[in-house]
């Protein structure tokens, strides 16, 4: 069972607000799904290499060349808050 504390922690990691109802329905849904996927443990995967990329390819590389022009004006046209070319966020304290 997913504890309320665990749900709170997941929401914090994912930067999602806990629902106004305290998350009972959400907790129930997640429990249902996580309980169901837990059946994966039944598979005998001893010695099996995980398949992370279909076809098991290796990485193709690009040459070290500057190819991208300055497009910040186009990129920032849809930005919610910009000033002097900078994206603005509430004050960050280090």
Partner 1 sequence: MSAPAGWEVVIGIETHAQLSTASKIFSGASTAFGAAPNTQASGVDIALPGVLPVLNRGAVERAIRFGLAVGGTVAPLSVFARKNYFYPDLPKGYQISQYELPVVSGGAIDIAVDGSHKRIRLTRAHLEEDAGKSLHEDFHGMTGIDLNRAGTPLLEIVSEPELRGSREAVAYAKTLHALVRWIGICDGNMQEGSFRCDANVSVRRVGEAKLGTRCEIKNLNSFRFLEKAIDYEARRQVELIEDGGTVVQETRLWDPARGETRTMRSKEDAHDYRYFPDPDLPPLSISPAWVEAVRGSLPELPSAMGERFVAAHGLTDWEARTLTASKALAAYFEAVVAAAGGDAKSCANWVLGELSALLNRLEVEADASPVSPAALAGLVHRVRDGTLSGKAAKEVFEAMAQGEGEADAIIEQRGLRQVSDAGALAQLVEAAIAANPKLVDDYRAGKDKAFNALVGQVMKASAGRANPGQVNALLKARLG
Partner 2 sequence: MHALSVAELSVALRERRVSSEELTRLFLSRIARLNGRLNALVTVDEERALASARAADRRLARREAGPLTGIPIAHKDLFCARGWRTTCGSRMLADFVAPYDAHIVERLEAAGTVHVGKANMDEFAMGSSNENSYFGPVRNPWDAARVPGGSSGGSAAAVAARLVPAATGSDTGGSIRQPAALTGICGIKPTYGAVSRYGMVAYASSLDQAGVFAHSAEDLALLLTAMAGFDPRDATSVERAPEDYGRALNAPIAGLRIGVPRQYLGDGVSPDVARAVRGALDTLTGLGARVVEVSLPNQRLAVPAYYVIAPAEASSNLSRFDGVRYGHRAEGAADLASLYRRSRSEGLGPEVQRRILIGTYVLSHGYYDAYYRQAQKVRRLVADDFARAFEQCDVIAGPTTPTVAFPIGRPGTDPVQMYLEDLFTIPVNLAGLPGVSIPCGAGEAGLPVGLQLIGRAWDEAKLLGVAHAYQQSTDWHRRAPPEEP
Burial of 44-79, coded b for 16+ CB within 10 Å and e otherwise, reads eeeeeeeeeeeeeeeeeeeeeeeeeeeeeeeeeeee
Least distance (Å) between residue 48 CB and partner 1: 16
Q: Which residues face 82 on adjacent strands? A: 87
Residues 6+ apart with CB under 8 A from 46: none
Assess 63 for contact with partner 1 (CB under 8 A). Answer: yes
| Two tokens, residue 92 | 């960050």
Which of 3, 42, 68, 80 forms a contact with partner 1 (CB under 8 A)?
Answer: 68
Least distance (Å) between residue 1 CB and partner 1: 20
CA distance 77 to 37: 42
Assess 17 for contact with partner 1 (CB under 8 A). Answer: no
Least distance (Å) between residue 65 CB and partner 2: 12
Residues that bind partner 2 (CB under 8 A): 2, 6-7, 10-11, 13-17, 26, 29-30, 32-34, 36-37, 39-43, 45, 48-55, 57, 59-60, 62, 71, 74-75, 77-81, 87, 89-92
């Amino acid at each position: 069972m997913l504890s309320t504390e665990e749900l709170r922690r997941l929401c914090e990691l994912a930067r999602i607000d806990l629902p106004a109802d305290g998350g009972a329905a959400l907790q129930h849904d997640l429990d249902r799904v996580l309980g169901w996927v837990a059946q994966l443990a039944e598979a005998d995967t001893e010695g099996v290499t995980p398949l992370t990329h279909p076809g098991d390819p290796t990485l193709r590389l690009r040459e070290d060349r500057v190819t991208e022009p300055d497009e910040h004006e186009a990129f920032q046209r849809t930005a919610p808050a910009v000033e002097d070319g900078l994206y603005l966020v509430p004050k960050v304290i280090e």
